[in-house]
Amino acid sequence: MNWLDQVKWDAQGLVPVIAQEAATGDVLMFAWMNREALARTAELGRAVYYSRSRGRLWFKGEESGHVQQVHEMRLDCDNDVVLLKVTQLGHEPGIACHTGRHSCFFSVLKDGAWQAVDPVLKDPESIYK
């Protein structure tokens, strides 16, 4: 059996993916992959996602240069979520978020409101031209 056949794809042929920094354990981002994206990620050793808004494969870092080198791919117990252990490249410290932050999970619920608690490491205007 092909390892891709063991993944439980949703009705749109997608699987949710979490990118976690291998060195720190930080959760960097959440995205989607289709079958081709998952296969390309395994083949290339770099994160390739499926962009629902663009309707195409999205090679992480194709515009920003913030590439994710994949060290390990894991599948959860229900076979319906993929975890990538990555090194975030292209900036030190690594930037995974399109807002110029290390992680997409930069807001914390405090006193009934979401508050950004992590700094912008690089102005997104200078990343995406």
Binding residues for Mg(2+) are 76, 78, 80
Neighbours of 41 (CB within 10 A): 23
Binding-site annotation: residue ranges: 76-78, 80, 97, 104
Count Cα atoms within 13 angstroms, Cβ side, for 114: 3
Judge contact between 49 and 33, C-beta under 8 A. yes
Binding-site annotation: residue ranges for Zn(2+): 77, 97, 104
Parallel, antiparallel, or unpaired for β 82-88 and 14-21? parallel
